[in-house]
Homo-oligomer: A and B are copies of this chain.
């Protein structure tokens, strides 16, 4: 059955961030749709941000394009250009290696939801605002000087 039964897919707020940077994503609840749907060409996540929740620490990937489309509620897209309101039907594209750290923040008092598309990160990811770096070789977050958390 091609239609995806969202309610049947476990929802998680798991993160690989170390505790000192994880608080902002505690309100990010996501479902991985690609494995459930049998897709391998790219990843697809259905994400709900609780009020106050962030999609991620502000970041950019060296090697993976990202795309999001808002389904419900409202969020603020934060990037080097400033703050951009995002509502239902709004789309945003984050090309690989553009150096423009970005994230979505739910500043409203209701949930918002969106679909995010992207391949699993196999390249380094940069976080301009904090002392964190995704070292793809080691497959985990480290400090910017390469030391472990």
Residues of A with Cβ closer than 8 Å to B?
Answer: 1-4, 6, 33-34, 36-42, 44, 46, 64-65, 67, 69, 71-72, 77, 79, 81, 84, 86, 88-96, 98, 100, 102, 113, 115, 117-119
- Contact indicator A3/B95 (Cβ below 8 Å): no
When the two chains form the complex, which single residue of B39, B65, B90, B93 contacts A67, counting CB atoms closer than 8 Å?
Answer: B39
- When A44-B67, A69-B71, A71-B71 are in contact, do A2 and B34 touch as well, CB less than 8 Å? no
Q: Which residues of B contact A46 (CB under 8 A)?
A: 91
Closest 5 CB pairs of A and B: A37-B93, A38-B95, A41-B65, A2-B92, A39-B65
**Which B-chain residue is minimally distant from A88 (CB atoms)?**
B71
Query: A interface, by DSSP: helix, strand, loop or mixed?
Result: mixed
Known: A33-B67, A115-B69, A117-B117. A4 touches B42 (CB 8 A): no
Contact A86 B117 (CB under 8 A): no
Q: CB distance B1 to A95 under 8 Å?
A: no
Q: Is the CB of B89 within 8 A of A71?
A: yes
B93 A39 Cβ-Cβ under 8 A? yes
Q: Is the CB of B93 within 8 A of A4?
A: yes
Known pairs A67-B39, A71-B69; A2 contacts B44 (CB<8 A) = no
